[in-house]
Amino acid sequence: MKIIELQSVGSTNDYAKGFAKQGASSGTVIWAREQTAGRGRQGNEWISAPGNLFMSMILKPKVDVEHIGQLSFLFAVSLASVLETVIPASAEIHLKWPNDLLINQKKAAGILIETESQATWVVVGIGLNITNAPEGAISLQEIGVNAHNAESILQLLAKEMQKRIEHWEKNGFQTIRAAWLKRAYKLGREIRARFPKETLTGVFEGIDMTGALQLKMSDGTVRLMNSGEVFI
């Protein structure tokens, strides 16, 4: 993997997309020490204070286009696997559908996947709170992680992601899906899910092989959620 370090950038995802259009190779990582216009899903602002990790990876996956959404789960599992080696044993990591990582039930990281129509590439961005976090969120330093900074976490994460991407391209989603469900937040419990045109309450049954959330309704039927928001 090739890592391009930037001191400051508007958005690592935007920079990576521009780089991808110029033919950047798969596996290229854009890492910025600061973002001035960071964003999350649905255009939400991502507060990007220096000291945290802001990175985006350019990929040209050797899979069918309908499987691209599985990358959100792959990157979440990769990040969880790395963080489990550096956080105190007393801290708990959970993965919240579709793209958040929680520590002690507070948001610590988010993932953003972007591509363009007919594009042969995809950009996957990760924002991780290391030294500070917005109100209601949590950082690694708050739980006592002082031996790691953005650079060291990135190095660990790059190796983990490369390993899992290769396995996914060869063997499919099953292993990633199982690893994600093992850490899934509120699995088997009641949640409130906002679909594009309605908000429903049901039991979080899991995710299917496309990554869609399975919501079991009171009448026993199961609704599939491909996009939307889960409230915790």
Mean pLDDT confidence for 152-164? 95
Q: Collect contacts of 89-92 with beta carbons under 8 A, ≥24 apart.
A: 91/143
- Domains of the chain and any CATH numbers: 3-182 (3.30.930.10), 190-231 (2.30.30.100)
Q: What tens digit of pLDDT does each residue of 198-219 get?
A: 899 999 999 999 999 999 999 9
Per-residue pLDDT tens over the stretch 74-122: 999 999 999 999 999 999 999 999 999 999 999 999 999 999 888 899 9
Token output for 169: 């391209």
Neighbours of 2 (CB within 10 A): 12
Burial of 45 (0-12, 13-18, 19+ CB in 10 A): exposed
Q: Are 58 and 13 in contact (CB under 8 A)?
A: no
pLDDT at 45 over 70: no
Q: What is the pLDDT of residues 121-136, one digit of tens each?
A: 999 999 999 999 999 9
CB atoms within 10 A of CB 201: 12
